Protein backbone atom coordinates (compact mmCIF):
# COMPACT_ATOMS: atom_id res chain seq x y z
CA UNK A 1 0.00 0.00 0.00
CA UNK A 2 1.41 3.42 -0.95
CA UNK A 3 1.82 5.97 1.87
CA UNK A 4 -0.89 8.61 2.09
CA UNK A 5 -0.11 12.20 1.04
CA UNK A 6 -0.69 13.29 4.65
CA UNK A 7 1.90 10.83 5.95
CA UNK A 8 4.36 11.91 3.25
CA UNK A 9 3.98 15.60 4.21
CA UNK A 10 4.39 14.72 7.89
CA UNK A 11 7.61 12.81 7.23
CA UNK A 12 8.91 15.67 5.11
CA UNK A 13 8.25 18.14 7.93
CA UNK A 14 10.01 15.89 10.43
CA UNK A 15 13.02 15.65 8.13
CA UNK A 16 13.15 19.43 7.74
CA UNK A 17 13.02 19.86 11.53
CA UNK A 18 15.88 17.41 11.98
CA UNK A 19 17.97 19.26 9.40
CA UNK A 20 17.17 22.65 10.95
CA UNK A 21 18.00 21.45 14.48
CA UNK A 22 21.32 20.04 13.28
CA UNK A 23 22.16 23.32 11.58
CA UNK A 24 21.20 25.32 14.68
CA UNK A 25 23.61 23.30 16.79
CA UNK A 26 26.58 24.45 14.72
CA UNK A 27 28.01 27.85 15.64
CA UNK A 28 28.42 30.42 12.87
CA UNK A 29 31.82 31.85 12.07
CA UNK A 30 32.84 34.31 9.38
CA UNK A 31 36.17 32.63 8.70
CA UNK A 32 38.87 30.29 10.03
CA UNK A 33 42.36 31.61 10.82
CA UNK A 34 44.98 28.94 11.50
CA UNK A 35 48.32 29.29 13.34
CA UNK A 36 50.89 26.71 14.36
CA UNK A 37 52.97 23.84 13.02
CA UNK A 38 52.76 20.96 10.53
CA UNK A 39 49.62 19.54 12.11
CA UNK A 40 47.73 22.50 10.61
CA UNK A 41 50.02 23.79 7.82
CA UNK A 42 48.13 23.57 4.53
CA UNK A 43 51.15 24.47 2.41
CA UNK A 44 52.94 27.63 3.54
CA UNK A 45 56.26 25.78 3.64
CA UNK A 46 55.97 25.24 -0.12
CA UNK A 47 57.06 28.86 -0.50
CA UNK A 48 59.98 28.75 1.94
CA UNK A 49 63.59 27.68 1.51
CA UNK A 50 63.33 24.68 3.80
CA UNK A 51 63.52 20.89 3.64
CA UNK A 52 60.42 20.66 5.85
CA UNK A 53 57.94 20.18 3.02
CA UNK A 54 55.13 17.81 2.20
CA UNK A 55 54.53 19.00 -1.37
CA UNK A 56 55.68 15.77 -3.01
CA UNK A 57 54.28 12.25 -3.30
CA UNK A 58 53.30 10.17 -1.46
CA UNK A 59 51.92 13.10 0.60
CA UNK A 60 48.43 14.00 -0.58
CA UNK A 61 47.75 10.51 -1.91
CA UNK A 62 44.15 10.65 -0.70
CA UNK A 63 43.62 14.39 -1.06
CA UNK A 64 41.02 15.38 -3.71
CA UNK A 65 42.80 15.05 -7.05
CA UNK A 66 45.60 13.07 -5.36
CA UNK A 67 47.59 16.31 -5.05
CA UNK A 68 50.53 16.82 -2.70
CA UNK A 69 49.49 20.25 -1.44
CA UNK A 70 52.08 20.63 1.29
CA UNK A 71 49.87 19.12 3.98
CA UNK A 72 51.83 16.64 6.09
CA UNK A 73 49.39 13.76 5.69
CA UNK A 74 47.83 11.56 3.05
CA UNK A 75 44.79 13.85 2.86
CA UNK A 76 43.07 16.70 4.63
CA UNK A 77 43.91 18.17 8.02
CA UNK A 78 41.70 18.98 11.00
CA UNK A 79 41.16 22.67 10.02
CA UNK A 80 39.93 21.58 6.57
CA UNK A 81 37.43 19.20 8.15
CA UNK A 82 36.26 21.72 10.75
CA UNK A 83 35.78 24.36 8.04
CA UNK A 84 33.77 21.92 5.96
CA UNK A 85 31.56 20.81 8.85
CA UNK A 86 30.90 24.44 9.82
CA UNK A 87 29.84 25.20 6.25
CA UNK A 88 32.65 27.69 5.60
CA UNK A 89 34.59 25.92 2.82
CA UNK A 90 36.09 22.55 1.95
CA UNK A 91 39.75 23.34 2.59
CA UNK A 92 41.86 26.11 4.15
CA UNK A 93 44.45 27.61 1.75
CA UNK A 94 47.92 28.76 2.84
CA UNK A 95 48.30 32.52 3.15
CA UNK A 96 51.56 32.48 1.18
CA UNK A 97 49.89 30.97 -1.88
CA UNK A 98 50.66 33.49 -4.66
CA UNK A 99 47.31 33.17 -6.46
CA UNK A 100 45.18 33.35 -3.30
CA UNK A 101 41.82 34.73 -4.42
CA UNK A 102 39.78 37.44 -2.71
CA UNK A 103 36.98 34.94 -2.14
CA UNK A 104 39.35 32.57 -0.33
CA UNK A 105 40.72 35.45 1.70
CA UNK A 106 37.27 36.40 3.00
CA UNK A 107 36.57 32.99 4.54
CA UNK A 108 39.94 32.36 6.13
CA UNK A 109 43.49 31.22 5.56
CA UNK A 110 46.30 29.29 7.20
CA UNK A 111 49.41 31.02 8.57
CA UNK A 112 50.95 27.85 10.07
CA UNK A 113 54.36 26.48 9.13
CA UNK A 114 55.53 22.88 9.40
CA UNK A 115 58.42 22.48 11.84
CA UNK A 116 57.46 25.62 13.75
CA UNK A 117 56.93 26.11 17.44
CA UNK A 118 56.21 28.52 20.27
CA UNK A 119 59.98 28.79 20.79
CA UNK A 120 61.59 30.83 17.98
CA UNK A 121 64.66 28.60 18.23
CA UNK A 122 62.59 25.64 17.04
CA UNK A 123 61.62 27.32 13.78
CA UNK A 124 65.16 28.65 13.24
CA UNK A 125 66.53 25.11 13.23
CA UNK A 126 64.13 24.12 10.43
CA UNK A 127 64.22 27.40 8.50
CA UNK A 128 60.47 27.93 8.86
CA UNK A 129 58.09 30.57 10.24
CA UNK A 130 57.93 30.73 14.06
CA UNK A 131 54.51 31.14 15.57
CA UNK A 132 55.48 34.60 16.81
CA UNK A 133 56.17 35.76 13.23
CA UNK A 134 52.91 34.28 11.96
CA UNK A 135 51.30 37.23 13.67
CA UNK A 136 52.92 39.56 11.11
CA UNK A 137 51.12 37.65 8.37
CA UNK A 138 47.85 38.16 10.24
CA UNK A 139 48.52 41.90 10.10
CA UNK A 140 49.09 41.66 6.35
CA UNK A 141 45.89 39.67 6.05
CA UNK A 142 43.89 42.32 7.92
CA UNK A 143 45.29 45.10 5.73
CA UNK A 144 44.36 43.19 2.60
CA UNK A 145 40.87 42.61 3.99
CA UNK A 146 40.47 46.34 4.63
CA UNK A 147 41.41 47.16 1.04
CA UNK A 148 38.96 44.55 -0.16
CA UNK A 149 35.83 45.19 1.94
CA UNK A 150 36.55 48.29 4.01
CA UNK A 151 37.69 48.69 7.60
CA UNK A 152 34.34 48.07 9.28
CA UNK A 153 33.55 44.87 7.39
CA UNK A 154 37.13 43.66 7.81
CA UNK A 155 36.85 44.08 11.57
CA UNK A 156 33.54 42.23 11.51
CA UNK A 157 35.19 39.29 9.73
CA UNK A 158 38.08 39.24 12.21
CA UNK A 159 35.86 39.39 15.30
CA UNK A 160 33.59 36.67 13.90
CA UNK A 161 36.41 34.36 12.85
CA UNK A 162 37.44 31.20 14.65
CA UNK A 163 41.16 31.20 15.41
CA UNK A 164 42.88 27.81 15.73
CA UNK A 165 46.30 27.54 17.38
CA UNK A 166 48.19 24.23 17.33
CA UNK A 167 51.86 24.24 18.34
CA UNK A 168 54.29 22.98 20.97
CA UNK A 169 55.12 19.41 19.94
CA UNK A 170 58.19 20.42 17.91
CA UNK A 171 59.49 22.52 20.78
CA UNK A 172 59.70 19.52 23.08
CA UNK A 173 60.72 16.94 20.48
CA UNK A 174 63.34 19.03 18.66
CA UNK A 175 64.63 21.37 21.33
CA UNK A 176 64.36 19.33 24.51
CA UNK A 177 64.20 15.57 23.93
CA UNK A 178 66.01 14.79 20.67
CA UNK A 179 68.34 17.80 20.42
CA UNK A 180 68.64 18.91 24.04
CA UNK A 181 69.35 22.55 23.19
CA UNK A 182 66.99 24.01 25.77
CA UNK A 183 67.76 21.28 28.30
CA UNK A 184 70.95 23.14 29.18
CA UNK A 185 68.89 26.21 30.04
CA UNK A 186 65.61 24.88 31.48
CA UNK A 187 64.30 21.89 33.36
CA UNK A 188 61.07 20.44 31.94
CA UNK A 189 58.81 22.46 34.24
CA UNK A 190 60.60 25.70 33.39
CA UNK A 191 60.49 24.99 29.65
CA UNK A 192 56.76 24.29 29.82
CA UNK A 193 56.26 27.65 31.53
CA UNK A 194 58.51 29.38 28.99
CA UNK A 195 56.43 28.03 26.09
CA UNK A 196 53.13 28.78 27.80
CA UNK A 197 54.25 32.34 28.46
CA UNK A 198 55.04 32.70 24.75
CA UNK A 199 51.61 31.28 23.94
CA UNK A 200 49.99 33.73 26.33
CA UNK A 201 51.73 36.67 24.64
CA UNK A 202 50.59 35.38 21.26
CA UNK A 203 46.96 35.02 22.36
CA UNK A 204 47.03 38.54 23.80
CA UNK A 205 48.34 39.99 20.52
CA UNK A 206 45.79 38.08 18.45
CA UNK A 207 43.09 39.42 20.76
CA UNK A 208 44.45 42.96 20.42
CA UNK A 209 44.02 42.65 16.66
CA UNK A 210 40.31 41.97 17.11
CA UNK A 211 40.02 38.18 17.29
CA UNK A 212 37.62 36.96 19.97
CA UNK A 213 36.97 33.26 19.42
CA UNK A 214 39.88 30.87 19.71
CA UNK A 215 40.58 27.17 19.92
CA UNK A 216 43.95 26.33 21.49
CA UNK A 217 45.14 22.75 21.07
CA UNK A 218 47.04 20.91 23.76
CA UNK A 219 49.92 18.52 23.16
CA UNK A 220 49.48 14.96 21.87
CA UNK A 221 51.08 11.99 23.65
CA UNK A 222 54.51 12.92 22.29
CA UNK A 223 56.08 9.74 23.63
CA UNK A 224 53.86 7.66 21.33
CA UNK A 225 54.90 9.34 18.09
CA UNK A 226 56.69 6.72 15.95
CA UNK A 227 59.83 8.83 15.58
CA UNK A 228 60.12 9.35 19.34
CA UNK A 229 59.77 5.64 20.06
CA UNK A 230 62.40 4.88 17.41
CA UNK A 231 64.90 7.43 18.69
CA UNK A 232 64.49 6.83 22.41
CA UNK A 233 63.18 3.32 22.95
CA UNK A 234 65.15 0.10 22.56
CA UNK A 235 65.17 -1.20 19.00
CA UNK A 236 63.30 -4.40 19.78
CA UNK A 237 61.06 -2.78 22.38
CA UNK A 238 59.48 0.24 20.72
CA UNK A 239 56.88 1.35 23.24
CA UNK A 240 55.44 4.72 24.20
CA UNK A 241 57.81 6.82 26.29
CA UNK A 242 56.04 7.26 29.60
CA UNK A 243 58.00 10.27 30.84
CA UNK A 244 57.39 12.25 27.62
CA UNK A 245 53.67 11.54 27.85
CA UNK A 246 53.64 12.67 31.47
CA UNK A 247 55.33 15.92 30.38
CA UNK A 248 52.60 16.41 27.76
CA UNK A 249 49.87 15.81 30.32
CA UNK A 250 51.36 18.31 32.77
CA UNK A 251 51.68 20.95 30.03
CA UNK A 252 48.06 20.34 29.02
CA UNK A 253 46.92 20.58 32.62
CA UNK A 254 48.60 23.96 33.05
CA UNK A 255 47.05 25.19 29.79
CA UNK A 256 43.51 23.87 30.28
CA UNK A 257 43.01 24.34 34.01
CA UNK A 258 45.00 27.49 34.71
CA UNK A 259 45.82 29.61 31.68
CA UNK A 260 42.73 29.38 29.47
CA UNK A 261 40.28 30.21 32.29
CA UNK A 262 42.55 33.10 33.28
CA UNK A 263 42.69 34.38 29.66
CA UNK A 264 38.92 34.19 29.34
CA UNK A 265 38.50 36.28 32.50
CA UNK A 266 41.08 38.89 31.52
CA UNK A 267 40.12 39.32 27.85
CA UNK A 268 36.61 40.85 27.73
CA UNK A 269 34.28 39.34 25.15
CA UNK A 270 36.59 36.44 24.40
CA UNK A 271 35.77 32.76 24.23
CA UNK A 272 38.84 30.52 24.34
CA UNK A 273 38.36 26.78 24.04
CA UNK A 274 40.87 24.11 25.00
CA UNK A 275 41.11 21.41 22.32
CA UNK A 276 42.05 18.09 23.90
CA UNK A 277 44.03 16.02 21.41
CA UNK A 278 45.92 13.97 23.99
CA UNK A 279 43.05 11.78 25.18
CA UNK A 280 41.49 11.07 21.77
CA UNK A 281 44.88 10.04 20.33
CA UNK A 282 45.65 7.96 23.41
CA UNK A 283 42.34 6.19 23.00
CA UNK A 284 43.15 5.42 19.36
CA UNK A 285 46.51 4.01 20.43
CA UNK A 286 45.18 1.97 23.35
CA UNK A 287 41.95 0.80 21.68
CA UNK A 288 42.70 0.72 17.95
CA UNK A 289 39.95 -1.79 17.21
CA UNK A 290 37.32 0.85 18.07
CA UNK A 291 38.54 2.89 15.11
CA UNK A 292 39.47 0.12 12.70
CA UNK A 293 43.23 0.63 13.11
CA UNK A 294 45.65 -2.28 13.08
CA UNK A 295 48.93 -0.37 13.27
CA UNK A 296 49.54 2.42 15.80
CA UNK A 297 53.28 2.19 16.36
CA UNK A 298 54.62 3.09 12.93
CA UNK A 299 53.58 5.19 9.96
CA UNK A 300 52.26 4.17 6.56
CA UNK A 301 55.15 5.76 4.62
CA UNK A 302 58.40 3.82 4.27
CA UNK A 303 59.39 1.79 7.31
CA UNK A 304 57.12 4.09 9.30
CA UNK A 305 59.72 4.27 12.06
CA UNK A 306 61.01 7.80 11.49
CA UNK A 307 60.48 9.02 7.91
CA UNK A 308 58.98 12.50 7.58
CA UNK A 309 59.21 15.35 5.05
CA UNK A 310 61.90 14.67 2.42
CA UNK A 311 62.50 11.19 3.84
CA UNK A 312 58.92 10.22 3.07
CA UNK A 313 59.69 10.49 -0.63
CA UNK A 314 58.27 9.40 -4.01
CA UNK A 315 60.60 6.39 -3.74
CA UNK A 316 59.19 5.29 -0.38
CA UNK A 317 57.08 2.18 -0.12
CA UNK A 318 53.60 3.03 1.12
CA UNK A 319 51.08 0.83 2.90
CA UNK A 320 48.21 -0.37 0.74
CA UNK A 321 45.37 0.62 3.09
CA UNK A 322 45.91 3.87 5.02
CA UNK A 323 42.67 3.36 6.97
CA UNK A 324 44.43 0.63 8.97
CA UNK A 325 47.15 3.05 10.13
CA UNK A 326 46.90 5.70 12.82
CA UNK A 327 50.04 7.47 11.58
CA UNK A 328 50.88 8.49 8.03
CA UNK A 329 54.60 9.16 8.57
CA UNK A 330 56.91 9.17 11.58
CA UNK A 331 55.04 12.08 13.20
CA UNK A 332 51.75 12.92 11.56
CA UNK A 333 48.40 11.08 11.72
CA UNK A 334 46.53 9.82 8.69
CA UNK A 335 43.51 11.65 7.34
CA UNK A 336 41.24 9.13 9.06
CA UNK A 337 42.87 9.75 12.44
CA UNK A 338 42.57 13.50 11.85
CA UNK A 339 38.86 13.02 11.09
CA UNK A 340 38.32 11.50 14.55
CA UNK A 341 40.19 14.42 16.12
CA UNK A 342 38.07 16.88 14.12
CA UNK A 343 34.89 15.25 15.43
CA UNK A 344 36.14 15.61 19.00
CA UNK A 345 37.12 19.25 18.52
CA UNK A 346 33.77 20.08 16.93
CA UNK A 347 32.01 18.58 19.95
CA UNK A 348 34.17 20.74 22.20
CA UNK A 349 33.28 23.84 20.15
CA UNK A 350 29.57 23.01 20.20
CA UNK A 351 29.70 22.27 23.93
CA UNK A 352 31.34 25.61 24.64
CA UNK A 353 28.82 27.31 22.39
CA UNK A 354 25.88 25.86 24.29
CA UNK A 355 27.45 27.07 27.54
CA UNK A 356 27.99 30.59 26.15
CA UNK A 357 25.72 31.14 23.18
CA UNK A 358 26.12 34.91 23.14
CA UNK A 359 29.80 34.69 22.19
CA UNK A 360 28.98 32.77 19.05
CA UNK A 361 25.97 34.80 17.98
CA UNK A 362 27.66 38.17 18.08
- Return the active site residues: 38, 329, 332
Helix (H, G, I), strand (E, B) or coil at 98: coil
Give DSSP secondary structure letters for 205-259. HHHHTT--EEEEE----GGGSHHHHHHHSBTTB----HHHHHHHHHHHHIIIIII
Residue 361: CB atoms within 10 Å: 9
> Do residues 219 and 252 lie in contact, with contact meaning Cβ atoms separated by under 8 Å?
yes
What angle (nearest 5°) sits at the alpha carbon of residue 35, between those of residues 130 and 316? 80
> Do residues 106 and 31 lie in contact, with contact meaning Cβ atoms separated by under 8 Å?
yes
Residue 252: CB atoms within 10 Å: 21
What angle (nearest 5°) sits at the alpha carbon of residue 208, between those of residues 206 and 213? 55
> Do residues 120 and 130 lie in contact, with contact meaning Cβ atoms separated by under 8 Å?
yes
215 phi and psi angles, rounded to 5 deg: -120, 120
CA dihedral sign, ordered 80, 166, 40, 177: negative
318 phi and psi angles, rounded to 5 deg: -130, 140
Inter-CA distances, 101 with 157, 158, 336, Å = 16, 18, 29
The alpha-helical segments, DSSP class H, found in the chain are 5-25, 78-85, 102-106, 120-126, 131-149, 151-160, 169-172, 188-208, 226-232, 242-253, 260-266, 278-286, 335-355, 357-361
CA separation for the pair 247, 180 (Å, rounded): 15
Amino acid sequence: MAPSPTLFVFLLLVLQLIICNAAMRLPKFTALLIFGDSTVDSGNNNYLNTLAKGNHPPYGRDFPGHIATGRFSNGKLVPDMVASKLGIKDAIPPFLQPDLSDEELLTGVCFASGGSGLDDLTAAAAGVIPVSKQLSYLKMYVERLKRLVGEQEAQSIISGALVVISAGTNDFALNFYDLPTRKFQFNINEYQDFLLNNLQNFVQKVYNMGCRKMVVAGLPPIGCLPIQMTLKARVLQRTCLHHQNLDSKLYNQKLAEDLIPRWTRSLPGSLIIYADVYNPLSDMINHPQKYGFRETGRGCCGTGLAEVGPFCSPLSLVCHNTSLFLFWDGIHPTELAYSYLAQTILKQIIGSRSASTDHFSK
